[in-house]
Amino acid sequence: MFERFAADARDTVVGAQEVARSREDDAIDAVHLLLSLARQEGGAGAAALAAAGVDGAGLERHVDAARRHDTLDGPALAALGIDLDEIRARTDVVFGPGALDRAGDGERARGRRNRRSHIPFTPEAKKTLELSLREAVHEGSRTIDSGHVLAAVARAKGSTAHRALVDALAEAGSDVAGLRAALAARQRRAS
């Protein structure tokens, strides 16, 4: 499948490894693909994000928020009578702002000691790349570009990357339909 990737999609995949390393993660997931494509000047995905009003810094903020949400499941804790927002507020008062988020950094540091030079892809990242192929086929394209990777993230409901993307789009006053329209407009101009 990788032979069908256009230069910007290849750059997305290579850049995802750099993003994972910079964030001190032990595997590449769809979030890394999303952040990587957002950083590419001139890439189809980055252009569509910009057309929808999403910038890299805003997207990164939403990724971090979505990951925090994934780490501590507020609704599950609420079902047990635990108010996560209250716990966060109390922890911040006693240990300083962001203390719960920093607690996870120790786990990452321990995992970093055993890090191999190659960072593997998670099943979520592999699924995103598979969906990008489906997006390209559906569009009738012979190659996969970063716009197809972005469309795959938009399609992968339930993933952290999807939630971050949807939240960033909403903050920009857009939505997945607006993003798809920006991708389609770019494709029409390229044809």
Walk along the chain (191 residues) and give the pLDDT tens digit of each residue: 678 899 999 999 999 999 999 999 999 999 999 999 999 988 999 999 999 999 888 899 998 888 776 555 666 667 777 776 677 677 778 777 766 665 555 444 444 434 446 899 999 999 999 999 999 999 899 999 999 999 999 999 988 899 999 999 999 999 999 999 999 888 777 66
Domain boundaries, the chain: 2-73+121-190
CATH fold for domain 2-73+121-190: Double Clp-N motif (1.10.1780)
Which pTM does this prediction carry? 0.76
SS (H, E, C) the chain: CHHHECHHHHHHHHHHHHHHHHCCCCCECHHHHHHHHHCCCCCHHHHHHHHCCCCHHHHHHHHHHHHHHHHCCHHHHHHCCCCHHHHHHHHHHHHCCCHHHHHHHHHHHHHHHCCCCCCCECHHHHHHHHHHHHHHHHHCCCCECHHHHHHHHHHCCCCHHHHHHHHHHHHCCCCHHHHHHHHHHHHHHHC
